[in-house]
A and B are shown apart, each in its own frame.
Chain A
Amino acid sequence: MKDAYKPINAIKEIFNYRELLISLISKTLNARYKGSFLGFLWTFINPIMQLIIYTLVFKYIFKVPEDNYAMFLFVALLPWTSFLSAVNGSLDSIIGSSSLVKKIYFPRLILPLSISLTFIIDYLYCIPILFIVMLAAKMKITLWLLLFPVILLIQFIYQTGLCFIFSSINVKFRDVRQIVIVATMAWLYLTPVLYKIEMIPDKYSFFGNIVNPRLWLGILNPMTGIINSYRDVFYYGSSPDFLFLGISCAAAVITLFIGYITFNYFERTFAEDL
């Protein structure tokens, strides 16, 4: 039994059950808009509506000093929406499949993993739109865009780790769901999605740079490095800040590992707790 907990065996097993992973993802993608009038278009309409609302509020009311605020926001909002939807969506991934979990064996990790992958794919669907808008806005497209898959991979690792943690704890303690939803709402404002991190005034730094909110947001919040890197390669066409991206990468791997251990711990009693 001990062998079953080695990550390499988990990966092998998930590979053996790849067909289940694929059909779960396509089931979620297909079933989501089944019977709706605009169907698949909703994948694009949601982020665009958010974009319009945030742009109106932050550009014209709060007057964020950014020339092309809509684009500035768009490149960050897409990955953030994917991240947020995955984390919130994973909360019910085990509970929602209780009839399966109680009756058939399959690697349970597949349930949150499929949610995480679904929203990564959702994000990828939006990338062609992003490019069209970027070309229309005559933004410069540089070779730094080649780093996009790397940043996406880091985001995927990080959000999958969180999905593992929350989906499994939520089986035992059902109010984790409420906590996570409130926390992710605050998280949006702790991450430079709507604003630039440089906009945090210097007067909130104390003791030189030791208590510098800009620095600590980058270290404590892995999403800062990820979102800033997306913005660097898409919006500024420049190199990402490799220090912060590296920190995010390390945090992502650690999160995935913690998620794996947490999941294994709670997985043993899934069939009884559901």
Chain B
Amino acid sequence: MTIQPAIEIKNVSKVFKIFKDRPLTLKEKLLNLRSDAYTPFYALKNVSFAINKGESIGLIGHNGCGKSTLLSIIARILYPTGGTVKVNGRLSCLIELGAGFHPDFTGRENIYMNAAIFGMTKKEINKNIDAIIDFSELKEFIDNPVRTYSSGMYLKLAFSVAIHVDPEILLIDEILAVGDSNFQKKCFDKMKEFRRKRVTIVLVTHSLSSITEFCDRCLWLQDGVIRKEGSPKDVTDEYLQFMTGIQNAPKNQPSGYAQDAEIKDFSLQNKQGQRIETGLNANDNLTAEVSVLKKERSGPLKISLKFLSADNALLGETNTEKINFENQELKKIIFNVTNIPLNSGSYQVLACVDNENNQESCPAKELCLKINSERTSPGLVSLKYDWTTENL
């Protein structure tokens, strides 16, 4: 017997018809009062892939690349224009939470209603109702009408119902940021529990770190086609490089900057003085050269170098004291960072210039720093350690 994949997608396309002037009523349709003409928009073009049972897949891509359309098609909310979708197993989707909540009904009544929409029977709901209420942390409010809930409470309740459906396949669209940090941690733990239970998970998110943490495989969608498929680390690295490239492309008229200085050049070099293209080995030294041109009246500038993770979390910063510049003076600032304590992966390095009023002088220049390491361990920071055992 061959193992059936949990989700099998073959040559799926989705065309949205963008009507200029669609006939909205039968009268208009029959009398031809409005034209049927439309421009097709290809949200997905011949996408094919399969997801095995128990696999976690991450879907990434910029806004409008077709991620959510793909998820909606798997969830059977939208029908594909062409191709076939096969789903084996009970599916729960966390696409939009709290859909179908009735504001006048109590939390408890809404749990029953919402669970029924997910296809649970009364027996199953009764079995799970205590767990749902416990998880939502809304015990005192559960018999109040939902319209009295805050939006955070509302989402917590909705999330609790959705994850107690006991799914075999779970579709998640960018909703892990629910509630306070305590509740978020609970949600993450629940996701990990699902993963241990070999629930098939499809995760759509912009948080690249949750992709590398959760997923076995990653798909990068761009303009309706799969641009890259592979291990989360490889795909997110390339995705990040691609997105950095887009950001550095010249933009029209950046605003809000003091415009009194300009970064002429920014480069990263290894200790041999070579520009980094293939990447830097872990725990190597890094040299960064920033050339700054002072444009208007003289005054001190502060130049800083920021290290960011793929999720734009600030990992570290090095900066100069205030440096005095003459008008139209060009200076090269060289930073030496020793023993970069980062794990293998892609990071962003930003060069920024601030003037004496702590205002940003010009847009930051951004480079992608790829760290190579033979040892791969989870997390961003590479820890230096040894270990011993002791007999007790």
A104 touching B117, Cβ below 8 Å = yes
A105 adjacent to B25 (CB under 8 Å): no
* Contact between B27 and A19, CB atoms less than 8 A apart: no
Contact A103 B95 (CB under 8 A): yes
Interface centre among B78, B100, B116 (most CB of A within 10 A): B116
CB of A181 to closest CB in B, whole Å: 14
* Chain B, interface SS category: loop
CA distance A102 to B96 in the complex (A): 9
Q: Return chain B residues, CB-CB under 8 Å to A272.
A: 16, 78
B102→A27 contact, CB < 8 A: yes
Produce 1/0 per residue, B26-52, CB < 8 A to A.
Answer: 110100000000000000000000000
Of the candidates B25, B72, B85, which one forms a contact with A271 in the assembled complex, judged by CB atoms under 8 Å apart?
B72
Chain B residues with CB under 8 Å of A34's CB are 104
For A102, the chain B residues whose CB sits under 8 A away are 77, 96, 99
User: Contacts of A176 on B, CB cut-off 8 Å?
Assistant: 26
Q: How far is the CB of B164 from chain A (nearest CB, A)?
A: 14
Asked if A104 and B27 sit within 8 Å, CB to CB, the answer is no
CA distance A100 to B117 in the complex (A): 9
Say if the beta carbon of B310 comes within 8 Å of chain A: no
A268 CA to B76 CA, complexed, in Å: 9
Report the separation of the CA atoms of residues A16 and B123 in the bound assembly, to the nearest whole angstrom.
13
**Contact call A105/B29, Cβ cutoff below 8 A:** no
Contact with A along B108-152 (1 / 0, CB 8 A): 000011011111111001000000000000000000000000000
The chain A residue with its CB closest to the CB of B14 is A272
- Scan residues 326-382 of chain B and give those whose CB is less than 8 A from a CB of chain A: none
Q: Which residues of B contact A16 (CB under 8 A)?
A: 119
Which of A1, A105, A173, A272 has the most CB atoms of chain B within a 10 A radius of its CB? Answer: A105
Q: How far is the CB of B97 from chain A (nearest CB, A)?
A: 9
- B293 touches A (CB below 8 Å): no
Given contacts A27-B113, A173-B29, contact A105 B75 (CB under 8 A): yes
A126 to B118, CA, bound (A): 33
Query: How many residues does chain A have at the interface if contact means C-beta atoms less than 8 Å apart?
Result: 29
Q: In the assembled complex, how far is the CB of residue B31 from the closest CB belonging to chain A, in whole angstroms?
A: 12
A242 within 8 A of B: no
In the complex, are the beta carbons of A174 and B24 less than 8 A apart?
Answer: yes
Take A173-B24, A173-B29 as given contacts and tell me if A19 and B121 are in contact as well, using a CB distance cutoff of 8 Å.
Answer: yes
| Cα–Cα, bound, A179→B26 (Å) | 10
- B91 and A105 form a contact (CB under 8 A): yes
B79 at the interface (CB under 8 A from A): yes
User: For residue B118, which residue of chain A has the nearest CB?
Assistant: A104
A173 touches B26 (CB 8 A): yes
Q: For A16, give the chain B residue with the smallest CB separation.
A: B119
With A100-B117, A104-B117 in contact, do A19 and B96 touch (Cβ < 8 Å)?
no
Are the C-beta atoms of A103 and B125 separated by less than 8 Å? no
Q: Which residues of A contact B113 (CB under 8 A)?
A: 23, 27
A1: contacting residue among B16, B23, B78, B85, CB under 8 A: B85
Q: Taking the complex as formed, is A106 at the interface, i.e. its CB lies under 8 A from any CB of chain B?
A: yes
B102 and A271 form a contact (CB under 8 A):
no
CB < 8 Å: which of A23, A105, A173 contacts B116?
A23
Chain B interface residue count, CB cutoff 8 Å, equals 35
CB distance from A162 to the nearest CB of B (A): 16
A194 within 8 A of B: no
B84 touches A103 (CB 8 A): no
Are B79's CB and A106's CB within 8 A?
Answer: no
Which residue of B16, B85, B112, B117 contacts A106 across the interface (Cβ within 8 Å)? Answer: B117
Residue contact B99 to A103, C-beta cutoff 8 Å: yes
A20 interface residue (CB < 8 Å to B): yes
Q: Mark B83-103, 1 if CB is under 8 A from A, else 0.
A: 011000001010110011010
Nearest chain A CB to B33 CB, angstrom units: 12
Kindly state the separation between the CA atoms of A27 and B106 in the bound complex, as whole angstroms: 13
Contact of A46 with B by CB under 8 A: no
Collect the chain B residues with CB atoms within 8 Å of residue A144's CB.
Answer: none
Return B16 CB to nearest CB of chain A, in Å: 7
> Whole-angstrom distance from the CB of A244 to the nearest CB of chain B?
32
> Closest residue of chain A to B81, judged by CB?
A268
Which A residues between 173 and 206 are near B, CB-CB below 8 angstroms? 173-176, 179
Mark A209-238 against chain B: 1 for CB-CB distance below 8 A, else 0: 000000000000000000000000000000
Which residues of B are found within 8 Å of A68, using beta-carbon distances? none
Chain B residues contacting A22 (CB-CB under 8 Å) are 116, 122
B117 x A20 contact (CB < 8 A) = yes
Is there a chain B Cβ closer than 8 Å to A269's Cβ? yes
CB-defined contacts of B121 to chain A, threshold 8 Å: 18-19
Given A1-B85, A105-B93, A179-B26, A20–B119 Cβ distance below 8 Å?
yes
Chain B residues with CB below 8 A from A19, complex form: 115-116, 119-122, 125
Q: A18-B121, A23-B112, A27-B102 are in contact. Are A105 and B26 (CB under 8 A)?
A: no
B76-A105 in contact (CB<8A):
yes
Q: Return 6 A-B CB contacts under 8 Å, by A number.
A: A27-B105, A103-B95, A105-B75, A106-B119, A179-B26, A271-B78
The 4 closest A-B pairs by CB, nearest first: A175-B25, A103-B99, A20-B116, A19-B116
5 further A-B pairs in the complex, CB-CB below 8 A; given A103-B95, A268-B79: A19-B125, A102-B99, A173-B23, A179-B26, A269-B79
Residues of A within 8 A of B (CB): 1, 16-20, 22-23, 27, 31, 34, 97, 99-106, 173-176, 179, 268-269, 271-272
